[in-house]
Structure 1
């Protein structure tokens, strides 16, 4: 299958550069200022009206789009809109696609249908196809033979099945839009060079493809270097998760998160410790950090550094997990049904069904109002 990926990649060869054009003649400026012809003005006026009446664009958006594309008759755009309608796109979705890529209206309906047929043939159908087109309309501007087919074949070879390639594309359709040679292939080569196992690379492409296509000022190689410097092991999945987090924020955002933890006495080493245990902890907003640390430290009386070793606790929902269970915990602790706050981590982490059975229902004899209290804090209707 890896051979298939390599053969597919070869089909993604760069297009030859166009021949260098001769420099423009320096004509007098008056000759260059040709007034727009009446036919051009008519085409623009018709285009604006069509975009408003048939595509649902606002007059402002239609006028902006008419500077990109113009047409004098509705024949071609009508055919394109019919292709979209036949695939299940709603008027609102069609309007969004046209607003993003107005030139789509003058593309070949047959070519457009062929691209959509190809995606359907590979297992992206129905609403999944609609989601893909709306999420990344630019996919339909790519050449079927020179880009879409070889890119899909490359992904299929890399992931060792068409089904997994489809799953990756559904996770992040941009992986089908971008040329693999530009971002994906060099990044994968870098991961291999630093010792990331092949199955971990496939995991990243399958479940976290966005890590390769983040709009970030942190280059992939820079993120790899920072993760290694923090002590992440390339053999472990956390290394890949750390890459995604590092690439997802700039340096100023990172510093704000560090400062937010620093207000609770964490050193930079403590932040790195928490980050290594669960990289997702650095994706929390500063307000979430302040709120969860306040309840853990000021309400529950925990040592701030206790949380640095248990960052997953902080990432739980404040309204649906931490606060409601804390109230239950406090009642049980006051009645001697729980002896120490050391069990708080497990108390917060257990699944909902087990929590209800083990901590709420099992203690109603000693604490009859426990269920009502829990439902109240969860924002649910209290049981009668």
Structure 2
């Protein structure tokens, strides 16, 4: 044991990238602090998970089914001490164990500690490694996971932050076959102009895509292009997300519903979908309510909406309708120009909207901020009602 610790420490301390990594001396000494105990016939896994690891009773009951061969606290104590040495809080350790109970059976010296050396060698800092354990859960095949990270890091621009962001939304990346699944999909996406930070964005918005059957992805790419969204455009990721689980027939049906609901021509329907493909995934009720508000209440022309379909992405209750009420109130009371464009009032950030349309009118309309807040809660204040 002492010899192994010495080798690990020598490796870590001699590595030029070791400085930001965790102190293996502290991790191993903490992990080794647990006494070597023999099998304890009275050892209760479920109680240990609750009392020592911080799991809820429900989580512990579920996790214990994966630890039926665990007969003492020797290894779990070492693992818990090791995780604590990574500066994971009690709540963090509970989250890691709940995600992957089998981690408690890992050998600190043969598996966890050497993997920390390799993670540090990849340029991950102490806080990065802690986040990695939280995001990935980390299986007992930790050493093989490290080899996968060696592939993903350069793919994601060499940024550990990009890597952790991708894993946050697509933890399956660590279990997928790199050669047969990930690489073919990445190659096709790169042909579509998607790479680097865009891969991270894709993992966030369509976290299934890198791990999908490589034989399916070409068809999805073709469907996305069929919406009028060119490869390499900023909207192509959204197009992939929109058509991934829709057949040609369903796409046609949903496009026809958009056309009827917003009173668009065929050309206007194509324009709207090409600018906002995600409209194909919206429910009929949501689309119907937005059509009723934008056309019947706000008085917008169908063609105006078709060329600005981003208006249909915003929340009706907390953004579109409350801002319309404010602007309409200000216009009716002569506080702003009548030709103020609706699109510009909805698309600006909340902070900018408040600074531009609420704050300047505190004296002339002292209740405006209060009424706006009420409108965002779904109410319609009396002052916002016009015959």
TM-score (norm 1): 0.69
Structure 2 partner of 1:202: 196
Match of residue 112 from structure 2: 112
- Please state whether the residue corresponding to 2:338 is helix, strand or coil: coil
1:277 equivalent in structure 2: 275
3-state SS of paired residue (1:293): helix
Distance 2:67 2:266 in 1: 50
CA distance, structure 2, for counterparts of residue 180 and residue 285 of structure 1:
36
| Corresponding residue number in structure 1 for 2:85 | 86
Deviation per CA, 1:9-45: give whole Å up to 9, x if none.
xxxxxxxxxxxxxxxxxxxxxxxxxxxxxxxxx9797
Give the structure, 1 or 2, with the largest relative contact order (CA under 8 Å, sep 6 or more).
Answer: 1
Q: Using the TM superposition, give the Cα deviation of residue 259 of structure 1 relative to its aligned residue in structure 2, in angstroms.
A: 7.4
Write the distance in 1 (CA, Å) between the matches of 2:337 and 2:282: 30
Structure 2 length-normalised TM: 0.69
Cross-structure match for 1:76: 75
Structure 1 regions of 5+ residues with no counterpart? 1-41
After superposition, the Cα gap between the structure-2 partners of 1:118 and 1:241, relative to the gap in structure 1 and judged at 3 Å, is farther
TM superposition shift of 1:101: 2.8
Instruction: Tell me what 2:188 maps to.
Output: 190
Partner secondary structure for residue 135 of structure 1: helix
Where does structure 2 lack aligned partners over 5 or more consecutive residues?
Answer: 1-39, 382-387
Distance 2:287 2:125 in 1: 39
CA distance in 1, matches of 2:293, 2:91: 44
Residues of 1 paired with 2:250 and 2:41: CA distance?
48
Task: Name the structure 2 match of 1:328.
Answer: 326
Encode CA deviations 1:144-175: one digit per residue, 9 max, x unaligned: 2x441x32232333344344653554553523
Aligned residues: 331
Q: Of 183, 200, 208, which aligns to 1:213?
A: 208
RMSD over aligned CA atoms reads: 4.0
CA distance in 2, matches of 1:290, 1:189: 40
Q: Secondary structure at the match of 2:229?
A: coil
The alignment status of 1:178 with 2:173, answered yes or no, reads no
- Decide whether aligned partners of structure 1 residues 141 and 292 sit closer, same or farther in structure 2, where only a CA change above 3 A counts: farther
In structure 2, relative to structure 1, the CA distance for the partners of 1:129 and 1:281 (3 Å cut) is farther
User: Which residue matches 2:124?
Assistant: 123
**Shift in alpha-carbon separation, 1:51–1:350, aligned structure 2, 3 A:** closer
Q: SS at the partner of 2:71?
A: coil
Could you say which residue in structure 2 is the equivalent of 1:66?
65
Deviations for 1:127-159, whole angstroms, at most 9, x for unmatched residues?
x5444433331x343342x441x3223233334
